Amino acid sequence: MNQFKIVGIALTSFILMFSQAGLADGRTELSGPGEAEVIAGTGYTHTLFDSADNKCQHCHNDLYDTWKTSMHAKSWKDPIFQSKYQDFLRLQASKIGAVGPTGTYQEGTIQKTAQVCIKCHAPTAYYSGDFKITLTEVGDQNVDPDAFEDARALQTNLAPAYNPDLEATVSSMAQSGKVYTVSYHVGNKHNREGINCAYCHSIETVRMMNDVDGDLGQYTLAKPMKMGPIGPLVHNAGDTLHYSPDASTHDMNAFFALIGPEKYADVSNTPKDAAGFDIAKAADGRYTMKSIPVGCDGTDADGNPADCHYTGGPFYGPFGITGVSNSRDDDVTDRASLVKGDFQAAVDADHGDKFESRHQFAAYGKALCLSCHQRSSLMLNPETNGIPGLQPGDDQFLELCSTWTAMSDGVGNNFEDSKTSPKCQQCHMEPLANKTVLHKWDDPDSLFTAKDGVTEHFDPASGVGPVAEGYLNNHAFMGANKADFGLTKIKTGFESGMEVKADDDKLKVKTYLQNKTAHMFPGAHPMRRVLTRVVVTDANGNKLSFKKAKGKSRFKSVTNQLAVLEGNTILPGHETVKVKYDDDRKIVIQGYTADLSSKKEPVNSQFMDGTLVEWVSPDATVTGSTAVETAPGVWAVKGVTTVKKITDIEGAADHFTRIYGRETGKRMADGTHVVRPGFDSNIATDNRLKPNEKEKYTVVYDIEDAVFPLTVKYKVYYMKKGASGKFPTAADGFLNTSLPAETLKKLAIYEVFSAEEKVVDDD
């Protein structure tokens, strides 16, 4: 099948016009006529989705610029993701031949498991079925003692230098001693764009389980749920999961273990009720994707073979859209024909307001994000103690990105904007004042007007739309991965401070750290950690040992100050978001252990364990690994790794440290706990700050015999890859910043707050 429709129209003049208007950094021109046009198809190298680069950017130019900088635009090529994905494939290949309660891990099983990550990280590839995964047996350790070692040389295109255009290959070994390579590639350029415009904006109905729409909180499983491909059965096909506003209930936890956006067995035929909500689903799903109109399955209205063209819209947005024709001749699709009648009706009749329509992003914004950002793994968590009301055997899957759990108040829901749990968009999609949502493709200086057929929302003269209001919703989705790290988003996620008091014999250093987000801090991915440290030095530069420390925790309403990248301006009146604290809320998180109560109590300085342990796993977090025969004919890849657990026992007293993080990993019978975020996730402990939480510490020093003046320093670090357990300390007690730049970059530890006071002797 031809991927691109070549339309025989001379386009030179258009392209010329475009060049004259100038292209902002990162924007690209079409390299030839027809490149905008897509013939929809599924399978390797095909796509069902339009390209942000080839299409959307040309009319939604400013929006595109903000999206292009986002992690959504990099979710597939992101080197951190790719390195973990490659490890995941090594791990899966090592399981081939393993026998579990519900079967044997076959060679073909990896075809399925390899898609787990692409569901969220390259969702258009998943929906388009554009994914090639090749397993090759390349040797046998029983026959050739160098087989495993030799296979390493076959690895290509490894992260972090991963190039998404090319196939990548990793190697691994199974218990049987068979040595394998696994190769993978997403074939169509559109599908390598990550979470692109067409993906989010093709979501017709976000149908995260709730109790007001569609199946009214009753979610019946089409397939049995197992703990991984060969693990124990957790639910039978036909079992019904029930909605609860308490995100931590067993059923909700299981719902989120569906690992992200699901694909309907028959995408072109998802049955809808009158209001447009999907019913009688052929397969489990978190939302309805836009159904493919007649023609895409190979036939036109008359039953003749036909190409299905995809266009740059109309797509689903907050307002609902009309079928404005394209201003471009090589874009031949009839946009109007793609607008769903029921969608349009829902907007105009029952839900005229953008904040009411249930189909739309504005009203169901939270659910849209949570469809990927709330996730439990398929590993049962043996340590789900601490969850009230949990019956024996009613174990939970381990929560990974548990953003809703971490902000649900147990009384609201997972889609509506509320005072205690504001919707994600309020903080993560700031309305920008100095941008244009839409302009004409071939005439970038002009806006579409009512004469062109746009709705009032987009008519500059109407005074109601985002164009008229002059704002767009920032699509940069800032987080720890922004290039100007620390200057923007992360710093708005917390508040911190230090106060120093000294008398004749005692020095009291008081610090606080407060969560200013609407979810746990640090948020989302379990590899994030935050570390705070106090160091007191005397006039000779010697570090003083603290005598004791006390801490307490309080909750109160907060106001989040939004952040944007340089050059952007938030629409006045939208710069802050309040997160109200409700005394009655109950946020229940697996493994959560409150470290402090509301009364002052003694606390210890914390550190990351760091002990070296032998570990069996083919992934790259285990170093120096070799093939080891553990019993005749039974092989394992063995190496060493460090225990990265946050340890709360008395350590060195010359600094006072607190570390906040969510730990996932594996605990062995001897209590050894190895943190590997997202892998072997059978443990969760969590000491992050809950929403609205403020922790205060008082660290006390004896200074009777101290050599004055004293220097008191306090710093807060954000550790993007903190679960690597590394925090190299310099002589001054803080992060060793004299390490080579390359090492520091790899560590990804950033100072985000610093305070310093001098204490002089009054006498």
Residue 522: count other Cβ atoms within 10 Å of its Cβ: 26
Cβ atoms of residues 552 and 598 within 8 Å = yes
Q: How far is CA 163 from the centre of its chain?
A: 21
Which of 209, 293, 528, 285 shows the shortest CA–CA distance to 400? Answer: 528
Confirm if 519 and 526 have CB atoms less than 8 A apart: no
Q: In angstroms, what is the minimal distance from the CB of 412 to ligand HEC?
A: 11
The residues near 160 (Cβ < 8 Å, ≥ 6 apart) are: 79, 80, 82, 83
Tell the smallest beta-carbon distance from residue 204 to ligand HEC (Å). Answer: 12
Q: Are 37 and 330 in contact (CB under 8 A)?
A: yes
Closest CA to 204 of 364, 39, 404: 364
Computed on alpha carbons and rounded to an integer, the radius of gyration of the chain in Å comes to 28
Q: Cα–Cα distance between 527 and 724 in angstroms, integer? A: 8
CA distance 372 to 287: 11
Asked if 457 and 471 touch (Cβ cutoff 8 Å), the reply is no
Residue with tokens 């302009």: 439
CB of 6 to ligand HEC, least distance (A): 18
If you count them, how many residues does the chain have?
Answer: 763
309 vs 655, which CB is nearer to ligand HEC?
A: 309
Nearer to ligand HEC, 321 or 544 (CB): 321
Beta-carbon-side half-sphere exposure of residue 474 (alpha carbons within 13 Å): 28
Cβ proximity to ligand HEC: between 117 and 596 the closer is 117
State the Cα–Cα distance between residues 290 and 317, nearest whole angstrom.
12
Contact in structure between 83 and 159 (CB atoms under 8 Å): yes
What are the tokens at 549? 């420390």
Which tokens in the block code for residue 254?
């299981």
Tell me whether the omega of the peptide bond preceding residue 261 falls within 30 degrees of 0, making it cis. Answer: no
Which is nearer to ligand HEC, 396 or 605 (by Cβ)? Answer: 396
Shortest separation between residue 113's beta carbon and ligand HEC, angstroms = 8
Residue the block writes with tokens 């992260």: 159
Report d(CA 705, CA 699) in Å as an integer. 18
Shortest reach from residue 391's CB to ligand HEC, in Å: 27
